[in-house]
Amino acid sequence: MNLLLGSFGTTEIVVIVFLALLLFGGKKIPEFMKGLGLGLKEFREAIKGVQVQVQRQRI
């Protein structure tokens, strides 16, 4: 977890979340997270497709 967050402590993370809520509002953040989740899902599916193609080429 330290590699992902670096040297951020609990206080810094709380401040960042609070600022995000102020900037984007409560309704936009769930929409953003949903879009981020869909993007990650598509990215994983694309990686899986590439891995399948590489496996087929090795045979």
Domain of 52 in residue numbering reads as 2-58
pLDDT above 60 for 59: yes
> Amino acid letter at 35?
G
- CA 46 vs. chain centroid, Å, equals 16
The total of structural domains in the chain comes to 1
Cα distances (Å, whole numbers) of residue 37 to 11, 53, 57: 26, 25, 31
Length of the chain: 59
What tokens appear for 27 in the block?
A: 């309704």
Full-prediction pTM beyond 0.85? no
pLDDT tens digits along 15-46: 988 888 888 888 888 888 899 999 999 999 99
pLDDT of res. 41 = 95
